[in-house]
Amino acid sequence: MDTSEMQAYPTGRYSRFLVRYPSVVMLISFLASGGLSFLAINNGAFETMFGWSDLSSIIVQRIHGFDLARLQWRMYLEDHGRDEVIDEPESDRRRRRRRLSSTGQSPRRAHKNSLHELASPPSGPHHHRSLLDTDPDNRVCAQQSVEADGQSTYLLFEDSSWDPLSPSTLKSLEKAQQSVAELKDFKAVCLQNSLTGQCATTQSPVNWAAWLTPLTPETLATLTKYDNDSATNAACLQIPQALYQLNRDQQCNAQAHLEAPVKCSVGSLGNFPTREQMAGPFTAMCKSGPGQDNEEGGECGEKLLPLREAMFAKNWDCSTLEAKYTRIALPSAGPLGRSGNCDWWEDEEELEGHLLAMVDPLFQIKSEVEASNRDVTVYFTNSRMTDYYLNKDLTLLGVSVFLVIIVLWVYTSSLFLTFAGLFEILISFPLGLYVWSVVLGEPGVTIIMYNGIFIILGIGCDDIFVFMDAYRQAHEQPSRISGSLETRFAWAFNRSALAMLTTSVTTCLAFGGCAVSQVWDIRCFGIVNGFMVLFDFLLVITWFPACVVFHEKHIKHRCCPACSPRSLFKACVKLCGRGPWREQRNDPAAGDADDDDDAGEAPPVKEHWLEAFYGGPYADFIIKHRKAILALFVFLTGASTVGWILYLKPSTKPFSFFDEDHFVTKTSNIMKNKFETVSSDGMVTVRLGFGVDPKNPWNQGGVHPAELNEDLYENTPQSANYVKGFDLFEHQKGFSTACKSFHTTMVELGESGSPTYFCWIDDFSTWLASTNMNGSFPFADRTQFRTAVDAWVEDNDSNPKASESGNYLHNYEQRQTYSWEVHEEDYAWETGYSFDKSAAMNFAFCGFTTGLEELEDGWPNTRIWKLYDHMQTALEAAEKAGGLVGTGVQVCEEYDFMALASYLAFSAFTSMLASLGIAVLVILLVTRNLRLTVLASLCLYCIVSLVFGLMVLSGWSINLLEAVDISIAGGMSVDYLLHMVHSFNHRKGDSHQKVRGALREMGVSVTMGVVTTFTACCALLATEMLWFRLFGVFIVMVVCSAFFTSMVGLMALLAQMGPSSKNHVSADEGDSKDVLEPGQAPMTQTTKTAGIELGTLNGASSGDSSEFESQPESTPSSRATPRKAEINF
């Protein structure tokens, strides 16, 4: 026998230790990974936070600087008894999850007549309305009496009969709201009737119809007196005064609101009046709407308009009272379960939990109502709809895991190895979070981290297949390799570790490119996923190999030998003949021999059918038709390049989490398009400020990016940076002129949505003219100026001149009241000023309403950029007109997302190019072959170009999610290509022989990697949220493009132009079963050329490796021959 056959394959210290003590390696790996994961979870690593802001943008910095300067104004108001500013961050009061979005916000105008609002205008975004009289000092409210702003449940009805007042439609509406009222979760959070304690609503066509039931003589006899305004209100509704008075006496609302009918309970309402009896009041409501005779006209229009907008669509026909859409508002309220403080923040999570639990029953109610009346289609929404679909989609993760289990089980034929591999994959996710949350100290993660679970399912399985293929192929080698478990493991480890290392490092670094992103969410995604891939690699060279050895020694022939696909599907295998199932030879000696793998040679195996296919007919086809294949790829690459350059552009539509035909989108569109007022925020507003430094406006002060979304608080470490030496005292008229000029330019550019604007100094000067204050406007004395503006804020006195003319007063308090009543805006939020420590007025601002409605999903990026450019033009004109050049900024909340989208569109391609550069560098380091690197780089570009071309063909444009996808495209594209290049590089022979060997060696691993990744993405493709589904589609695009290019285009290119080895083998050797020749240590050789001695990693000395490499090549007859039996793992 040849001496090379007799010399055992060199094994290192790590291989010997792992083979001899696999349970020790398993225990150490398990405890280390489990302990770190526990620390991550215990540290709150899974808490979802929301950043999504480009803090490097000067536009965004100006927004934050302006908000900090405005905070000083709110604190000034607090010092003068006009406002209240929280003194601690929200995260210290209660850690709250950030929400993706909310739908179905309560229309402001539906509540514009609330006396409670007029008496106590809200001081911030968390204002609550109460239907009970409350003591402003004690702020104690009865149970479920304080309406939760933005937390109402809306029922919307689409009536194909266009008759919302027909008996059948009213009964359907009554059935829907009554069914909701019976829900346990709704009862726990509903606004309660102050008389009966039942759930109440003041915005329901059904309740208003029932309220109009004619009075009986007996009921009329109980009427003893009329209120002063009952005649006016009855006349507005076109009903008898007695009907209005008697119903008003029984109101469930303690306050005298016209919009609160007697039948405010959400329960059985009894019989409805006839259409003729309802015609008067509903006609009066209808005519208060847009384009009607008494729109916003007089007292009646002011009272009825909120009701009309709250319940009926804009196209309500006042002559026939026909309308296709109606809606019912079912408000939520607190405190929950008891009377308590009106600011019931501790109950908010409980309220949100009840609203989330209501969604499934609401779908059931929808089905029941639609089944009873085919003319009616029911829609509904509340603030937790996005959370509902998020939770629903995340449950599909279990489907992905189950499918991956099936694939792993089929491939390994062992339940033990299947679950060992699954543990390795899944534990990598919290290990990546450990670095982010514990090492880096981050308080939470971004929502897109859930996508990482699906990424690691594919990557983790790919590494398992590479190792298992190498381990299986070790059995096919000569006895010096296959003769013992120790040598087989060492050979398989050396053969697979570098391939897994190169792909893992490349993917890790590609994700690491996202780590330098200015957007916290993208940075989180990149760092966690990068380390997740790295930890998976560490486990696949420690935990999983130890499990394979443990399985080989103690489980394979002793525990549940029938627990394999071959045994369970034996009948199927017989019917199909030769298939992918690995059959053990019917030789009892084979099993006995393997019981002592360390003592003797491994049982023989036969070649996998896919290996035979890829190394035989498939390789022949690629080699024979390589020129035609290359021509096809040149065409595809060129066409896709032209396509994505011309058509892959930034999106002109706002980002949405759902399809256009999705239930949530349809509901949102009905709310937005069919009803007069949709947004709880009204119109987009722009603010003009002077005093904040336009070039360096903001100091972040160490506040976490995801916590910048919280309410500003008094002792925040953030601060605004001001223009040095600026004092508005020197520009009193200039500020007024600048505000006027800004508004004039807005009108000229078609951006103004109101003939008026908010400018405190104009109100101040008007107020000053009617007082006896010392000095006149503009002031020449600084002390008098400060005294006067303080008095303007503190003034509560009447102004006879304004009262006689019917106008509102111009002091701060009355301007605030007027602002809420007429404009539904917080005056203190739109205009004001602040003083610095030297008593200089270092900041002043005014507010302007645009013609753009505040949409739920925002405006397209292109439209907001147009607004920004126009407002910059207006700013330049205002600075010039007021003599304030270089001191002004203009801000708008919409600019934040505009800057984010623009940054992502730019950084997406830069991150992609960086990841491609990293991949090319890794290929060069591993192969040390410039020619091979260039060829691989061309194919890598082909993959990315094909992906972008598929995005164009799918109708995609660059929006939020697409930008994230493009950022990681390079890193996700390189794995399969690297496997094939690495295998090609370490083989001997000419280019044709090396292509054949690479296909035979790595074809199965790459194919199974594709199958597993696609299987993991199946659940993503079935999700309802576009965030997940489009990501799944993107992964499929990448996997298909990478597989197609790596297995077809790359192989044809290497067959035509690939480098050959210096030592060629004969044609017979090249075409025969391409196993490792005795004396060859390809992984060690490749590692040395890359500057990494894997033999040293494995514990073997360099001397052993050199001695092994110096062995003479064997003849073909000395190599392993095909066997009839195959090992099951």
CB 807 within 8 A of CB 662: no
DSSP strand pairing (340-341 vs 140-141):
antiparallel
- Reported residue count of the chain is 1129
- Its sign, for the CA torsion 727, 733, 739, 745, is negative
For residues 808 and 822, give the distance between their C-alpha atoms in angstroms, rounded to a whole number.
11
Instruction: Look at residue 1103 in the predicted model and tell me its pLDDT.
Output: 35
CB 285 within 8 A of CB 247: no
Give exposure, 709-730, as e/b (b: 16+ Cβ within 10 Å): ebebbeebebbbbbbeebbbbe
- Three-state SS letters, 433-446: HHHHHHHCCCCCEC
Tell me the C-alpha to C-alpha distance, in Å, between residue 56 and each of 117, 257, 308. 39, 49, 46
CB 102 within 8 A of CB 150: yes
Angle (CA) 752 753 758, round 5°: 80
DSSP state of 616: I
For residues 170 and 73, give the distance between their C-alpha atoms in angstroms, rounded to a whole number.
50
- State the residue for tokens 């959400």: 266
Residues whose CB is less than 8 angstroms from the CB of residue 401 and which lie 6 or more positions away in sequence, other chains included: 422, 426, 457
CB 232 within 8 A of CB 296: no
CB 460 within 8 A of CB 428: yes
- Its sign, for the CA torsion 171, 172, 178, 182, is positive
Question: In terms of Cα–Cα distance, which of 510, 521, 356 is closest to 910?
Answer: 510
CB 654 within 8 A of CB 860: yes
pLDDT digit string (tens) for 431-460?
999 999 999 999 888 877 777 888 888 888
Question: In terms of Cα–Cα distance, which of 439, 438, 521 is closest to 48?
Answer: 521
For residues 634 and 629, give the distance between their C-alpha atoms in angstroms, rounded to a whole number.
9
Phi, psi dihedrals of residue 820, rounded to the nearest 5°: -70, -40
CB 918 within 8 A of CB 952: no
Give exposure, 197-224, as e/b (b: 16+ Cβ within 10 Å): eebbbbbbbbbbbbbbbebeeeeeeeee
Token representation of residue 977:
């290509």
CA atoms within 13 A on the CB side of 29: 26
Percent helix, strand and coil across the chain, each rounded to 5?
Answer: 60, 5, 35
Amino acid at 137: D
Query: Which residue ranges of the chain lie beneath pLDDT 50?
Result: 1-5, 90-138, 251-262, 291-296, 573, 578-602, 678-681, 798-808, 1064-1129
**Continuous segment of H or E residues that includes residue 118:** helix 115-119
Question: In terms of Cα–Cα distance, which of 403, 226, 234 is closest to 1017?
Answer: 403
Amino acid at 893: E
Instruction: Look at residue 427 in the predicted model and tell me its pLDDT.
Output: 94
- Three-state SS letters, 1005-1057: HHHHHHHHHHHHHHHHHCCCCHHHHHHHHHHHHHHHHHHHHHHHHHHHHHHHH
For residues 73 and 58, give the distance between their C-alpha atoms in angstroms, rounded to a whole number.
23
pLDDT digit string (tens) for 267-292?
555 677 788 878 888 888 888 765 44
For residues 245 and 263, give the distance between their C-alpha atoms in angstroms, rounded to a whole number.
14
Question: In terms of Cα–Cα distance, which of 451, 501, 449, 493 is closest to 473?
Answer: 493
Instruction: Look at residue 537 in the predicted model and tell me its pLDDT.
Output: 94
The pTM assigned to this predicted structure is 0.75
- Its sign, for the CA torsion 305, 308, 309, 314, is negative
DSSP state of 307: H
Token representation of residue 252:
């469930």
Amino acid at 784: Q
- Dump the DSSP string for 88-99: S-HHHH---PPP
- State the residue for tokens 């303080």: 790
For residues 405 and 388, give the distance between their C-alpha atoms in angstroms, rounded to a whole number.
27
- State the residue for tokens 């308009």: 305
Token representation of residue 776:
């006149």
